Amino acid sequence: MEVVVQRLTLAMVFKVIVLVLYCHVNALVCGFEMKTIYCTIADNCECDFKPNIRGLEWDLYKNLYGQHLAQDIVAEAIANFLLKENPIRPLVLSFHGASGTGKSFVSSMLARHLYGTAMGSPYIHQFVPTLHFPLPERLQQYRHNLKQWVEGNLTTCARSIFIFDEMERMPSGLIDVLEPFLGPSHVVYQTNYRKAIYIFISTTGQEVLHKVAIEMRTAGRDREEIQLQDVEEPLTEAVFNTNNSGFYHSRIITMKLISRYVPFLPLCPHHVKRCAQRELCQRGECHRVDVAEEVSSAVFYTPNGGVHHFSSTGCKQVPAKVNVYL
């Protein structure tokens, strides 16, 4: 308490006194203002942060199909991170896999179970290169803007979530401006920036994951036997060495600032069928098993010779296919 009091400026003390006298006139305004002051001086504002870890785990295991690695890694990483009242560094997750395998779906789950909303919270910030950083010649300006944006939002809310989509389209060298925020040493005034969560989403490394899945199938082993150690090293190398990746030769990789790499494996026909069934249920058509079968059969699979193995577009085309066959 003494530390908090010492941080009060005279102006802040005066404002508190005025607000206390004003409370009997407008309790709602008073409560909001007092909370703002408390967040500023006590560095303890959680910004409507309402984590529901059990709900997240249930959602992951019930609604994310064919991604046993992602389910386990994300559930464990989030739970362990939130157990720490004062983490030594932010949580940095890097999602990798082909289109339609569930990367953005899991990001939405995290938003929903950490803030009680999908992507509508003012403390969840999403960046898309083609929208926010479209011109490579403006790299230095983008670096400055991104640093200022992240720092400003961390000052507003230590529990901010930053989502960087389509990292394979991110201008090379841009994302390294975040390096000071991802380690244990950077200081942002009036906030514990180490409580933030960063999520990077990319298709980079999908070839590695597809290759491992094919090799596993060729060896007569079940796809669900794939372990993180089977893919993590080649995946990291692909992310670092792919020259059209936002992480190309990035110091974020060399300084080991990624907390967890999260592989999203290619999906099989029965996974696509489950996606179709879920889509049908959302439309009140759970009984249309025939449509789910047709959708699963209509998706293109690779390799395209012999038995169908893995969907080339994951579940991404499922809603459009349901429109056709329903």
Residue 229 burial (CB count, 10 A): 7
pLDDT at 304: 59
Burial 77-104 (b: 16+ CB within 10 A, else e): bbeebbeeeebebbbbbbbbbbbbbbbb
Amino acid at residue number 152: G
Query: Among the three residues 216, 248, 264, which one is the final residue of a domain in this structure?
Result: 264
Q: Is the peptide bond before 303 cis (omega within 30 degrees of 0)?
A: yes
User: Exposure of 111 by Cβ count < 10 A (0-12 exposed, 13-18 middle, 19+ buried)?
Assistant: buried
User: 237 and 309 in one domain?
Assistant: no
How many CA atoms lie less than 13 Å away from 140 in the CB half-sphere?
0
Residue 123 lies in a domain: yes
Q: Domain range holding 6?
A: 2-42
- The beta-carbon contacts of 121-125 under 8 Å, at least 24 apart in sequence, are 121/48, 121/161, 123/47, 123/48, 123/49, 123/153, 123/156, 123/157, 123/159, 123/160, 123/161, 124/160, 124/161, 124/163, 125/149, 125/153, 125/160, 125/161, 125/162, 125/163
Instruction: Give the DSSP letter of residue 94.
Output: E
Beta strands 124-127 and 91-97: pairing type?
A: unpaired
Residue 44 burial (CB count, 10 A): 11
Where are any strands of DSSP class E within the chain? 91-97, 124-127, 161-164, 197-202, 260-264, 301-302, 310-311
User: 87 and 66 in one domain?
Assistant: yes
User: 277 and 177 in one domain?
Assistant: no
pLDDT at 32: 35
User: 82 and 162 in one domain?
Assistant: yes
pLDDT at 33: 45
User: 282 and 140 in one domain?
Assistant: no
Are residues 76 and 105 in contact, defined by beta-carbon separation less than 8 angstroms? no
Q: How many residues does the structure list for the chain? A: 326
pLDDT at 90: 96
In angstroms, rounded to a whole number, what is the distance separating the alpha carbons of residues 150 and 160? 9
Give pTM, 2 decimals: 0.84
pLDDT at 307: 57
Query: Among the three residues 221, 249, 264, which one is the final residue of a domain in this structure?
Result: 264
pLDDT at 17: 53
User: 230 and 120 in one domain?
Assistant: yes
pLDDT at 306: 53
Place of tokens 């209509």: 298
User: 191 and 295 in one domain?
Assistant: no
Query: Among the three residues 246, 264, 282, which one is the final residue of a domain in this structure?
Result: 264
User: 225 and 131 in one domain?
Assistant: yes
User: 196 and 170 in one domain?
Assistant: yes
Regions of the chain with pLDDT less than 50: 1-16, 18-19, 22, 24-45
pLDDT at 38: 47
pLDDT at 47: 83
User: 80 and 228 in one domain?
Assistant: yes
In angstroms, rounded to a whole number, what is the distance separating the alpha carbons of residues 49 and 51? 6
In angstroms, rounded to a whole number, what is the distance separating the alpha carbons of residues 149 and 43? 20
pLDDT at 265: 98
Largest CA distance in the chain: 79
In angstroms, rounded to a whole number, what is the distance separating the alpha carbons of residues 17 and 252? 47
